[in-house]
Every structure is written in C-alpha cells, then in structure tokens.
Chains A and B, each alone.
Chain A
C-alpha cells in the first residue's frame, strides 16, 4: 500500500495513497468539522464545513472530504478565512433548523450542537424561519423530523450502500428538498435503524427511546446481541438500572456499527412485565412463586432421588443456544459430574447432528479458517441454502461492503427464491429443485475438474483420494444434472468460473443445507468443493483465501457445541470414548466417570424420553415445545417425563409444562462470552442488575451443584472461562481479560497451532433426497428464519411485534390462483398431525407446490405440523 507524507496543522502525517484529507486527519486525531462525511459511506461532500487551506503547488481552499492527499501537501485546518466561511455555512443551516434542543432526544450527542458551539457563532444576520414540516411517523420504530434535517445525505447513503434497500432518498429541490420515501409511501424497509445511527442531528429518531433519558444520563455498556449468530456489538444505554435504548459504535466489534431491527429495537423484552420474577414450583397443579432456597432444595432433592432409584442416566439435560459459554459449560459439567448423565444435548445439534464433526474436520483441514468479518474482503461470495437477509442481515451488510469496495462476485443458490440486494456486476442466482443440493454441488465440482479450472496436478499431490473423487464425478452426466436440479448447464458453468477466479472465495452454508436429511452429504460435498478451490491451486498461487462458513441460528449456537453440551463430546470436540481424554477431564473436574455416561447412544435425549427411559429433564434456556422439529413427538415426550425443570427468562410453552421454573437473567444482566457462527468468541458486559429475582444461569447451576454436595464455590465467569481454556483444546489460549480488547477467533487459533492436515476427499452419494409427495397432502412445507422475529425475546419486544404482528404463510402465485387465494386471505395449512390457520402472502419466490411458514414466530407452532424436514401438507382457504 503506497503511502503519502503530508503535514496537517504542523503535524507530519503518513496516509495511504488515495485517502481524503478528512479521513487522514480523523485517523490521526486531528479534528476537522464535518457533518456529511462518514468513513463507512461513499463521499458526499455536501455540507461544505470541512473547508481547509491546502498548499500543493499553489495555496488554495479545498474541501477536505473530497480531496485526496498528495505527497508533501501542507494543510491548515483553522485559518481565519476558513473559519469565517465555516461560520457562514453554519449560520445558513441554523436559519431553518428547528432549534428544539430542549425536547430533542439528540441533545448532548448532536453534531450540529457540537459544531455550532465549537465555531463560536456570532448572532445571525438572519431571522430564523420555521419550516413547519409535519413529523413522519408511519412506523413503530423510526421517526423523521424534517425540520431538523440538514440534508447531509448520510441516511440516504446508508440505506442504499449498506442495507442495499434505498428506501429513502431526496425529494424536491432547492429549499424544499427533504428526505423521504418514494411518493411519500409509508416506510417499508428492513428497519435496521442505520439511518438513526448515522444521523448527525435529531432528524431520525429511535422511537423505542422516546424521551426516556438524556444522552448524558446514560451509561453505555457494549455487549453482544442476543439474537442471531453474527454476534454484533450492541451498546446498551441504561439509566437507573433499566435499558432505555440500543446504540451502535462504528469502532467496536465486528459489525462496524451496523445492526438489524432485532439488535437495535428488540431490547424491550428485558423489562417486559412478562419476565419471570421469582422461582416457581408446581403445587396442586399450579405453578406458584417460591423462594430460591426452597426451589433449589426441592430440585436437588428430586434429582438425588432419581439418581438413587434409577441412576443418573435417567436424567436428561438440554443446554441453550442462547446462554453463554460459561452457562453451558457449567451445565454439561453439572450434568456429567454431579448428575452423572451423558444424556445431554442442544437444539442446534439435534437439528443437525452431523454438523459438529464436520465443522471440526473443516477447521483442522484449514477449510474453515476465516472469521466472519473477513467476508468484507471477499472477491467471490457463494451463499448456498442461506437466506442472509432474513437470518444474518448484518453479515449481508458485510457482503455488500465486499461487493461495493472489492467488486466481489456473488452466487446465491437456494431451493426457494430469497431476497438479497446487491449491486454486484457478476450476480448469479440459482434455484435448485428441492433436495438436489448435493447434485448441484457435485455438478460444480464436475465443471471445475472437467474444464481444469484449477491445477489438478497440485490437487492430487496435496490431498488424499482425489482420484477416487474424480472417478465418482466422472460418472456424472451434465445433462441429467441439469434436469434434476433445474439449473441450466450454462449457469452452473458460470458459477464455477466465478468460484475459481483468484482472490478470496467465501462460501456460506445455510440453514436449508444444515437442517436437512442430506446435511452430511451436502456439507461433505461443500468441503470437497472448498478443498478444490484452495488458492494454492488456482489463479495466482497463494493469493487469496478460501473458507467455508456454517450458518448458526442463535447467538451462541456455536458456543454451546464448543463447550461440550453434546452427547459423546467433551468440551472442544473431544471424543468421550477416548480413554486419555476421559482421564484428563476426570482429573480437572476431580471426578470419576462411570462408563455408562461416556457411550454415545444412538438415541438422543428426546428419543429416550419417548421410550420412557427418562425420568427427569433439566432444560436451560430453550423453548423445546415450540422449537423441537417434531411438535407431536415433543409433547408426547414431555408427558412421559416425571420431573421437568425449566430455567428460562419467560414462561414459555415449555416452562408451562414444568414442575419447577427457575428465573434466569438475560444477556443484559450477566457476564460471559458468546461464540458466533464464524468461531469468534466475544465477551459480554453486564449492563444492569438482574430483573426481579432472576439470576445468571451459571449461578443457578452452581447453587444446585453445591446443594447436591459438590465442593468449591463459583465466583466469576472469568474463573469458568479459565477452566474452559484448560480443558477445551479449541479454546486453548483464550484469556478473559484480553477478550475485553480483542475477540478470540478459535478457528484460526487452532489452524495456526496445527499444520493443517492433508484433506481426504469424502465420497458423497449423488442421489437427491426423496420428497414423498402424497395425493392427500400435495404441498411441501418449507420453513426458515425471519428478519423481524426470533423466538422468545422478540415475542416480548413490543416494537418488533408492532412491526411484524402476524406470521404469514407464503404461497406460490400459480398455486394461489388455482386455489383462488389472494393476499391476506386466511388459509389453513394442514398436515397429517395438525393444522394451522394463517394469513396468506402470495409470492413468486417459492417453487410450485410448496408453502413457507417462518419458524421464528414463537406463538405460531409450526413444529406441530412437522414430522420431518420436508413435511407434506395440504392447503385450503378458510371459509367464514
């Protein structure tokens, strides 16, 4: 990177070539006033405040944000002339800007206030003029006060470049220019709140804040978002022990200040009146409040009873995709060493049992090595089976950054059409037939091998089994592949060409691939593909990186598996059957494991319950009744369990079946760490004291353990993480204090420690999965993630409910026509097990004869319909 030397205000500066003066000053702590420049966005140059005096060949005045640095340039930021002109621009702005500081939520953090004050304005030559624009308040979370808008263009750029939606733009011209939507229609965007975050004045406002505090009264605590698995840093603004709003910081965390509607506006659940405030015990059929002592004693007693009568393995444990690593680690330690059971599991593993092993293998073989933020540096992105806009919106923003700055290529492959806004010049969208993903991936591999798009000789020498792979792929027929997948040969070829271009190639494997009966084959095929795309074999050898990312649904879906809440694995994917592993753990925990708990059963916890082998179930942080893929089964299973303990934040459907409910603290009320989908461990910071009598999960488990006779006290999450570090090989080297400054990326840590093993190509079956269609149930039910909701927390956040109060069933346009269903009609979706009635949404994105219902609306139990991933259903209109 070529650098330039210049002098700003007598300070010598070194800046990369092509930087503008404003950014160079910003990077070196020199202040130049400006309202429209933003490092994340493309240059606007509209506010005219950043005028500086520049001497290049001659001395003149330039606008810092629009002028690139040059060698030997001398810049003076505050000459009298420049100050005079800046004052005049500010004077013009203040004529029309509504000076409503006393009632404006932006007061105290308003750039306009700051700059006016700093410029030391003299009395204006003009009389103030009121524009009297009406407030734009057509949605529950954002409001626009045009009287305060100074038309800096930041919100317009954010919406266009970062979110890719461009819901707002300038309207009219001259003094009547305002920011608004097309034809003044109600705002219909993703409500990410990016406009509020970048607005320098009080024009865009967060309605969840609504006068609940002045900016200087807030304590600002950065922590990690509790929703999806991107792991954005959110800043909780608290006053008097309550979280009033969420803001973002461009320089903290991996999300660069970008958030989505859940992260920014979905915080109201923390103080929802529905929170469980005290422990509850079922007495006479009713759950009634009790004290912690009583609750803990009761649970400990019952557990001990069951252990004595039936053995520890009669107790099952379900860990949480939403709780911290420390919570989960203690959970599995408690279950294994105190309860004496190895029958533990978590929802992520239940939905996708092969994933843990494959992830670990990917890391060891160097196939997964990049952290999520590195997506911003991609040259080619391939999303397969992933709906980035709904499931991981901020990762989608990272992808758009790569497209904008790196001219990245984009390939999106799904079984149903998904929305992803991009300006990529090479943008391939594939829709493959249901169940044909393995064939599609193999088809890509075939093109690469047949047309020698990579150096096949190098591949052969650097891997194992390549010749076996070749002969398997040889048997493929391209025409047949196209027929089965529904994707033309030309498109597959174009995709393969893009993938093999030099540079960074990142593949994101989505939920539709992972939670599918073909998951193991598909992921194995993706691993094969990735290995083939190794930069050592393509383009300029060594330039660029290839990495495979695994989508996870929740904020700690990765972590809960990393710390061992998985049957058959100790923390860190250490096989429980291995004797030396067992001994190491036994030594650390000071226990001796009976053989029974180390075997991995073919049956998972729920199956055991169904077969009446489970007497008790300890559920932490999961709404099993709604989330378990087969609703009928889970209800039955719960009926067969004698004693259910649920530890959660709200009285969910599962908690309502429990015998004991223990109130848990939310992410805002505890310390700990989360691991995101890119294997990055990040630290939380506690912002408020626990609400009511709730306690952090790890403290509850500790109390239970102590009650059941385990010695030792638990003081802090730091201690727990230190213990994790000593046991879990994947977290080796992690340090709680260091996490304050820098997140820990375990994939690269593992990768760096072990020279990556030679990858062995796995032979993958090439048939597509059978989707049994049946005359009575001619449709296939598809499910997936949703932007506005994710389970328990979003359900209790009133702003999210306002934005998305209803769950829809999406239906294909042609099918809708045949069945005479219009948008908004009430439609019943019925499977062999159950039925649901929802409002219809007609779309052309779905393949024919399928319907889509989101899984994330907790009060809509889609799982009651399902018995497998692709359940057959029938659709009919509700007759009134």
Chain B
C-alpha cells in the first residue's frame, strides 16, 4: 500500500469515502480517457461488480463506480482510481478491459493493490509540481452530477456574490485580483467588466468564448468536460457584474462531449435555482444558451463570434464601437474565455488578496497549459504564472522522450512563436513572452525535438492561418497565402536569396495592416523562427538541404554502391524509372527524375539505399 506523498485532492477524497463507507472506483472519462477506451473499462467495471454482487461478498462494503473528467495526464489513460474507505486512494494507469477482473478481485475484494499496474513515480511528480486551482475538480468529480460539485464548495461563490456584494464590490474585487483574460489577449478582466457595467440597454449579454481553435489546445475542452459548473458559476457571476440579461456559450461543434456536459449542467443548474429567474432568491435573473460553432477558427475572434451567434458570416468588424458598448445585436456585450470564468469562483471564495499573491507582478494567478508534441507526459497542467519553460517541459512534462534533444517550444499556437533552448529559463507571463517574440495565446505548448524542421513548422502554422483567414482584408487573405507560397517553395528547394527579406517585410506589413487578431498574429511563427532559427532557413535556401530530413522534397535518395547486390528490386519497382542498373551494374538513382516516393528504400533488403 502506497501512502507516501498523497496529493492534495486525494486527501479530500479520503474524507469523502470515509464518510461514505463505500469503495469507489473512479474512471477518467474525459475525451482522452474515452479515446483510450475509458467507456469500455467503465462498463466492464460496472458489469463485473454487478456480476460478483460485491455488496454481499464483502459484507458492509458496497462498491460504487463513478466517472470523472479529465485529470490531465492523458498519456496514461485510462486512469482509474480505487478508493477503499479508510485508506488513501490509489491510481491505476493504462487500464484495459482485461485488467478489470484482476483489479476487482485483488484490490477491491482482497484489499491488495495490483502494484505492477499502479501509477508510477512520475505520475505523482506530474501533479505535485502543479498548482491546480481551476482544475481542482477535474478528474475528481463526476461532471454530470451537480451535487458532487456543490459538495466540494460549488456555487458558494455565487451565493456570496448575490447575497453580500454589489456589482461595484464584485468588479473591484476582480480588478484587485489582477485576473487577465485567458483566451490570449490578456486584457484585465476587471476593467472589461467595469466597462460592460457602464452601458445600459434593454438587453445585455455575457458571452463565454469556448471556440478554442488553436491546434493543440484543449484546456477549455477539458475544463468544460470535467467541471462545467465551474465555468457556469464564473459566467453567472460575470453576468451579475454587468447586469447581463442573457448569456451565450459559443462552443465549437467539434467538442460534442463538452456540449453535452454543458447542456446537462445548465439544466441541472436551472433546476437548483442557480440559473433562470431570481437566482437564489435574489433580484438577478440570467439564462444561458449554447450556440455551437460551424468549424471556423476566425469565429473565436470576439466580433466574428458575435456575428456567428447572430446567424451571420463570421467576419470580424472594425472597432469602434467596442463590443462592451455595442456588441451582440448591437447591445452591450462582455466576452470572456472559458478559463477566465473558471478562475472567478476561486477569486471570490479565497479572496483577491490571496489570488494576487500567485503569479508575477503583472500576470496574476495560474494558467492551464496543454503540453503536446515530443514530450514524455503530454496532457494538461496548471501552473502559477512565472513558472519557467524549463519547469514545464522537463519537470512536469518529463522531458523529451527517446533521449532526443530539446529544440524549441511553440507557445500560443498559430498566433505564437517558437522559443529555442537558450530561452528555457524564461518565466511564463504575458509581457515576457511578448518581448521574446512569442505570445501566451490560449496556452498551447508544442514541444519539438531535434528531428523537427523549423521551416516546416512555420509553414504548417502559416498554412493553418491562410486556410482559416476570413477573407475580408487583403493583408491577411492574400498576404498569408503569399507568405505560405514562399515558405512552401523554400521547403521544396526552390527558395531564393531575397525570400528572407521579403518574409520579414511581409510579416511587418501583415501585422500592421490586418483588421483582426488572426491576421495580426499570423506572421508570428515565421517571425520567431526567423529570429531564432535563421540558419535553418539559410540552409534550405542556399544549400537546398533540410537538416532534419523533414522536408520531403529535399530528400535525396542515393544508392550505397558497396551494399548494392544488383538484385534490381529497386529498378523494377521505381514508378518513374529513375533508377538505372542491371545484374552487372550497381544501381544508380537519377535525382532529377526521383519523386521521393520512398519505394526503393522500402524494397531494398540490403539497406543499400539511403
């Protein structure tokens, strides 16, 4: 039995199960968990427990199964927690359906955990170094059960606000906390709410931006799947601050589980009086509606999002007027990100003073990051602002797998920048990242190792931006495509000397002239890779070589004459007859004709082609 270094959350769980005198088997059912087979594992547990009638077999102990949301370490899914009353809960990782009967028999019945399947040392290290405030409930509670949320202190912030605080008090508190928008803009939330409260109209709206379009970002998704009520509570409090009459959650349609859980949560909240008319017997009423997106990254932009809710084409508009003055349907509108709302109940419950002690001077509180790419522990982490990149990548992320070297980390998705090894010790906060040429963005961390081509990476992100551009303004619509053309040419060995200069100029022009954030930040990946990895570009252009052998067009296939057995396997199979040779002659690949299909490499049994 493993009782050392029990993480914080587990302590609460022990208390819960002690009171309950019930064994609890909790299965992670976030999207990652389900993808790994969590549904099946859950059902197997249910079936087996029912079959074995464990209630009777173990006397007083009744086993209950529960589902939880994502707890962040998706690489180790399916994660299953087994809690025996009176003992610390233990976590199994990578549980499959076949492992279920044994776990039940040995651990639940005989009370001997199956040690070989328990989570390893680094699992706990992953959680120890984090500060899970917003994600406090994620992976612990059943997201479809409002009572579990309430039992852990849910909706007390709302109660406190409605019963003891005026709008002004509330706005002051949020301002004092230093909370900044978590969607990427980093705009002080208190200020935004103060502006929103200023304008009066017959209708006012509070919107939650759950579009999360950045490739590689899934923080908002996890939060909504695992702890939807936290988001709702934050939103209702926000609504109260500005006196909103209705709320909308704009969520991308690609998140069906989150949509389902939110709908459920809204329904439950309404039943309990946390939504609807006269919330908690106060004078404040709010209804929240869900609007699903239709697959456009640009609709994550605030004004485009509002047009999308109105049923129009999602094309951003110029400001003035700002959304707080005339936004959705020309009414005063305040828009915040999912994670921002997730922070609000914490601030109210623990106080702005406590909250403002976390983080750096200008960036307060914690931030959830999604770690992806070449890293041992991909998943979600929540750290206080000011943590260094090194801590995140190596301590929590576990470092680079397969003993490869760290090369760069892309922070902020397609709007962000790549930072090299030399900047590993930089702290993560809004201002420092900007000065380095990156951007906090929504918080996606993509780690690449020495096998990644930075030019190709820049091209990938530029491709994304060019495809997602709404098409309204020439700098973004045409500029991104032209930059993409240049980058593509470079990766295909057709780069020219002046290309780098043109890229720099265009990056500047597109950034200055674009109408909305998409265009303004589209050149960032290119700019940052040019800044820190210029030599890679030069090698691609001048030498027509890709140092990491990623750019396929620059691959060169050559026969190693010594190893060639003249079997002609390659000659026969080459689809463009680029290989010459016979039983007497060593094979020779004509590089001009070669289309780099890789067939000869595969066919050669003698490793004679490189």
Interface residues of A in 75-109 (CB under 8 A from B): 85, 88-89, 92-93, 95-96
B470 on the A face (CB < 8 A):
yes
Bound state CA distance, A95 and B481, in angstroms?
Answer: 11
Partner of B471, one of A45, A125, A170: A170
Bound state CA distance, A790 and B552, in angstroms?
Answer: 67
Interface of A is mostly: mixed
Is the pair A95, B482 in contact by a Cβ cutoff of 8 Å?
Answer: yes
A67 cross-chain contacts in B, Cβ below 8 A: 320
A93 cross-chain contacts in B, Cβ below 8 A: 474, 478
What is the minimal beta-carbon distance from A80 to any residue of chain B, in angstroms? 14
B296 on the A face (CB < 8 A):
yes
Bound state CA distance, A51 and B515, in angstroms?
Answer: 11
Is the pair A173, B298 in contact by a Cβ cutoff of 8 Å?
Answer: yes
Residue among A48, A126, A150, A151 facing the most chain B CB atoms (10 A cut-off): A48
Is the pair B319, A66 in contact by a Cβ cutoff of 8 Å?
Answer: yes
Bound state CA distance, A529 and B498, in angstroms?
Answer: 76
Bound state CA distance, A96 and B512, in angstroms?
Answer: 21
Is the pair A45, B317 in contact by a Cβ cutoff of 8 Å?
Answer: yes
B572 on the A face (CB < 8 A):
no
Is the pair A66, B320 in contact by a Cβ cutoff of 8 Å?
Answer: yes
Is the pair B482, A126 in contact by a Cβ cutoff of 8 Å?
Answer: yes
Is the pair A45, B318 in contact by a Cβ cutoff of 8 Å?
Answer: yes
Interface residues of A in 139-163 (CB under 8 A from B): 150-151, 153
Interface segment out of the listed B34-42, B273-281, B461-469: B461-469
Is the pair A150, B474 in contact by a Cβ cutoff of 8 Å?
Answer: yes
A494 on the B face (CB < 8 A):
no
Partner of B478, one of A45, A125, A170, A175: A175
Is the pair B318, A66 in contact by a Cβ cutoff of 8 Å?
Answer: yes
B46 cross-chain contacts in A, Cβ below 8 A: none
A66 cross-chain contacts in B, Cβ below 8 A: 318-320
Partner of B513, one of A51, A96, A175: A51
A174 on the B face (CB < 8 A):
yes
Bound state CA distance, A95 and B480, in angstroms?
Answer: 13
Bound state CA distance, A151 and B315, in angstroms?
Answer: 12
Is the pair A68, B477 in contact by a Cβ cutoff of 8 Å?
Answer: no
Is the pair B472, A153 in contact by a Cβ cutoff of 8 Å?
Answer: yes
Q: In this complex, what residue of B is CB-closest to A43?
A: B318
What is the minimal beta-carbon distance from A856 to any residue of chain B, in angstroms? 36
What is the minimal beta-carbon distance from A486 to any residue of chain B, in angstroms? 33
A172 on the B face (CB < 8 A):
yes
B509 on the A face (CB < 8 A):
yes
B513 cross-chain contacts in A, Cβ below 8 A: 48, 51, 85, 88-89
What is the minimal beta-carbon distance from A45 to any residue of chain B, in angstroms? 4
Is the pair A48, B473 in contact by a Cβ cutoff of 8 Å?
Answer: yes
Query: Given A92-B478, A92-B482, do A170 and B320 touch, yes or no (CB 8 Å)?
Result: no
A68 cross-chain contacts in B, Cβ below 8 A: 320
Query: Given A92-B482, A170-B315, do A175 and B466 touch, yes or no (CB 8 Å)?
Result: yes
Interface residues of A in 171-212 (CB under 8 A from B): 172-177
Interface residues of B in 308-355 (CB under 8 A from A): 313, 315, 317-320
A46 on the B face (CB < 8 A):
yes
What is the minimal beta-carbon distance from B433 to any residue of chain A, in angstroms? 23
A270 on the B face (CB < 8 A):
no
Is the pair B477, A63 in contact by a Cβ cutoff of 8 Å?
Answer: no
Q: In this complex, what residue of A is CB-closest to B313?
A: A170
Is the pair A125, B470 in contact by a Cβ cutoff of 8 Å?
Answer: no
What is the minimal beta-carbon distance from B304 to any residue of chain A, in angstroms? 11
A169 on the B face (CB < 8 A):
yes
B6 cross-chain contacts in A, Cβ below 8 A: none
User: When each residue 463-500 of chain B gets 1 if its CB lies under 8 Å from chain A and 0 otherwise, what string results?
Assistant: 00011111111110111111000000000000000100
Interface residues of B in 423-477 (CB under 8 A from A): 466-475, 477
User: When each residue 47-61 of chain A gets 1 if its CB lies under 8 Å from chain B and 0 otherwise, what string results?
Assistant: 110010000000001
Bound state CA distance, A192 and B478, in angstroms?
Answer: 31
User: When each residue 653-686 of chain A gets 1 if its CB lies under 8 Å from chain B and 0 otherwise, what string results?
Assistant: 0000000000000000000000000000000000
B502 on the A face (CB < 8 A):
yes
User: When each residue 161-191 of chain B gets 1 if its CB lies under 8 Å from chain A and 0 otherwise, what string results?
Assistant: 0000000000000000000000000000000
Is the pair B512, A61 in contact by a Cβ cutoff of 8 Å?
Answer: yes
Is the pair A172, B320 in contact by a Cβ cutoff of 8 Å?
Answer: no
Is the pair B471, A174 in contact by a Cβ cutoff of 8 Å?
Answer: yes
Q: In this complex, what residue of B is CB-closest to A175?
A: B481
Count of A-B contacts judged by CB separation below 8 Å: 91
Is the pair A95, B472 in contact by a Cβ cutoff of 8 Å?
Answer: no
Bound state CA distance, A460 and B435, in angstroms?
Answer: 76
B467 cross-chain contacts in A, Cβ below 8 A: 173-174
Q: Chain B interface residue count: which class?
A: 20 to 34
Bound state CA distance, A93 and B481, in angstroms?
Answer: 12
A153 cross-chain contacts in B, Cβ below 8 A: 472
Is the pair B468, A173 in contact by a Cβ cutoff of 8 Å?
Answer: yes
Is the pair B474, A89 in contact by a Cβ cutoff of 8 Å?
Answer: yes
Query: Given A45-B318, A63-B318, A126-B482, do A88 and B509 touch, yes or no (CB 8 Å)?
Result: yes
Query: Given A48-B475, A88-B513, do A173 and B482 touch, yes or no (CB 8 Å)?
Result: no
Partner of A46, one of B466, B478, B481, B515: B515
A95 cross-chain contacts in B, Cβ below 8 A: 478, 482
Bound state CA distance, A744 and B506, in angstroms?
Answer: 56
Bound state CA distance, A291 and B473, in angstroms?
Answer: 64
Partner of A173, one of B317, B469, B505: B469
Bound state CA distance, A153 and B515, in angstroms?
Answer: 14
What is the minimal beta-carbon distance from B211 to any residue of chain A, in angstroms? 15
Q: In this complex, what residue of A is CB-closest to B514?
A: A48
Q: In this complex, what residue of B is CB-closest to A88?
A: B509
Residue among A92, A172, A177 facing the most chain B CB atoms (10 A cut-off): A92
Is the pair B320, A175 in contact by a Cβ cutoff of 8 Å?
Answer: no
Query: Given A61-B512, A174-B468, do A92 and B475 touch, yes or no (CB 8 Å)?
Result: yes
Bound state CA distance, A68 and B318, in angstroms?
Answer: 11
A61 cross-chain contacts in B, Cβ below 8 A: 512
What is the minimal beta-carbon distance from B408 to any residue of chain A, in angstroms? 27
Bound state CA distance, A51 and B480, in angstroms?
Answer: 20
Q: In this complex, what residue of B is CB-closest to A169?
A: B313
Is the pair B296, A48 in contact by a Cβ cutoff of 8 Å?
Answer: no
Is the pair A177, B471 in contact by a Cβ cutoff of 8 Å?
Answer: yes
What is the minimal beta-carbon distance from A133 to any residue of chain B, in angstroms? 14
A175 cross-chain contacts in B, Cβ below 8 A: 466, 469, 471, 477-478, 481
B498 cross-chain contacts in A, Cβ below 8 A: 125
Interface residues of B in 493-539 (CB under 8 A from A): 498, 502, 505-506, 509, 512-515
What is the minimal beta-carbon distance from A36 to any residue of chain B, in angstroms? 9
Bound state CA distance, A66 and B515, in angstroms?
Answer: 11
What is the minimal beta-carbon distance from B255 to any residue of chain A, in angstroms? 21
A126 cross-chain contacts in B, Cβ below 8 A: 482
Is the pair A46, B319 in contact by a Cβ cutoff of 8 Å?
Answer: no
Q: In this complex, what residue of B is CB-closest to A84?
A: B509
Is the pair A46, B472 in contact by a Cβ cutoff of 8 Å?
Answer: yes
What is the minimal beta-carbon distance from A267 to any residue of chain B, in angstroms? 35
Bound state CA distance, A3 and B481, in angstroms?
Answer: 43
B515 cross-chain contacts in A, Cβ below 8 A: 45-46, 48
What is the minimal beta-carbon distance from A3 to any residue of chain B, in angstroms? 19
A170 cross-chain contacts in B, Cβ below 8 A: 313, 315, 471
Bound state CA distance, A63 and B516, in angstroms?
Answer: 13
Closest 4 pairs (CB-CB, A-B): A177-B471, A66-B318, A45-B318, A92-B478
* Contact sample, A vs B, 27 pairs, CB 8 Å cutoff: A44-B318, A48-B474, A48-B513, A48-B514, A51-B513, A61-B512, A63-B318, A65-B318, A68-B320, A88-B509, A92-B479, A93-B474, A93-B478, A125-B502, A126-B482, A151-B471, A151-B474, A151-B477, A170-B315, A173-B296, A173-B467, A174-B467, A174-B470, A174-B477, A174-B481, A175-B477, A175-B478
With A67-B320, A85-B513 already in contact, 8 other A-B pairs whose C-beta atoms are closer than 8 Å:
A43-B318, A47-B473, A48-B473, A66-B319, A88-B475, A88-B506, A88-B509, A174-B468
On B, residues with C-beta under 8 Å from A are: 296, 298, 313, 315, 317-320, 466-475, 477-482, 498, 502, 505-506, 509, 512-515
On A, residues with C-beta under 8 Å from B are: 43-48, 51, 61, 63, 65-68, 85, 88-89, 92-93, 95-96, 125-126, 150-151, 153, 169-170, 172-177
